Amino acid sequence: MNHTTAATGASLEAKNSNRNPRHIACIMDGNGRWAQNQGLPRIEGHRRGVTSVRKTVEECARLGIEQLTLYCLSSENWKRPQLELDFLMHLLEQYMIEERALIMEQNIRLQVIGRRDGIPEHVQTEMNKTIELSGDNTGTTLCLAVNYGGRGELVDALRQIAVDAKDGKLAPDEITEQTISSYLYTAGMPDPDLLIRTAGEMRISNFLLWQISYAEIWVTEKHWPEFREADLHQAISDYANRDRRFGGLNQ
């Protein structure tokens, strides 16, 4: 960390923690474009993106952010070339193995959301090991969205609600927003306060559609492999200075 980043981090810690987000969600965009701009193969962008993941996770843990959710693989990403998908699965497995000690050292609790179909068994095995090992940790929750789609999540939730209503476990006229939230992959997690997207794209891309209803959105032109602690600090600082009214009026 350079002096500028350290100073910014110190200023963030000095602020009223109530102005900082409890939950930050990131759409990590631009790995392939960054690589192509550097004259490198697309998969090299994904490899370099892991460094940004590590630095972001460590800094969120250091700042005491309650939860960080990273959009690792969307349900639509299966349309990509098989070589790229195989490499992404390799990176995911490698991350689970190589970052396990750091996750425990920093008291991070790992969660994974999304459908498991399509994810190789050996990758799921390493995911489950890290989830179980870190289950009692009490620091930042790191939630990885893998084979995730917001619409698919809602479909899965509504299917289960319909089953439970049919079985008499739920009365249809008693279903509330809280009921629906409790059937989502993210049940028990706070909704994101801040949504960060890299690479300058102005899209939600089917990410946490229910949960980001009132999230503040922050976009940077930097591609994900370029994202560093100073960018995270800037996003948090900008968030803290926004006027969040949740549809009402501040007095």
- From the centroid of its chain, how far is CA 26? 5
CB atoms within 10 A of CB 224: 29
Residue with tokens 């927003």: 177
User: Is 77 a residue of the active site?
Assistant: yes
Region for residue 166 given its phi and psi (left: phi exceeds 0; alpha: psi -120 to 50; beta: otherwise): alpha
**Which stretches does DSSP call E strand in the chain?**
23-27, 67-74, 109-113, 141-148, 194-197, 216-219
What is the 8-class DSSP label of residue 175? -
For 217, the token pair is 């959105």
**Which amino acid appears at position 186 of this protein?**
T
Q: Which of 77, 164, 191, 206 is catalytic?
A: 77
Q: Whole-angstrom Cα distance, residue 136 to residue 140?
A: 12
User: Is 238 a residue of the active site?
Assistant: no
Contact 219, 202 (CB under 8 A): yes
Q: Which of 20, 29, 147, 231 is catalytic?
A: 29
Contact 153, 184 (CB under 8 A): yes
Q: Whole-angstrom Cα distance, residue 194 to residue 67?
A: 11
For 16, the token pair is 């009223």
Residues annotated as catalytic (active site), given as ranges = 29, 77
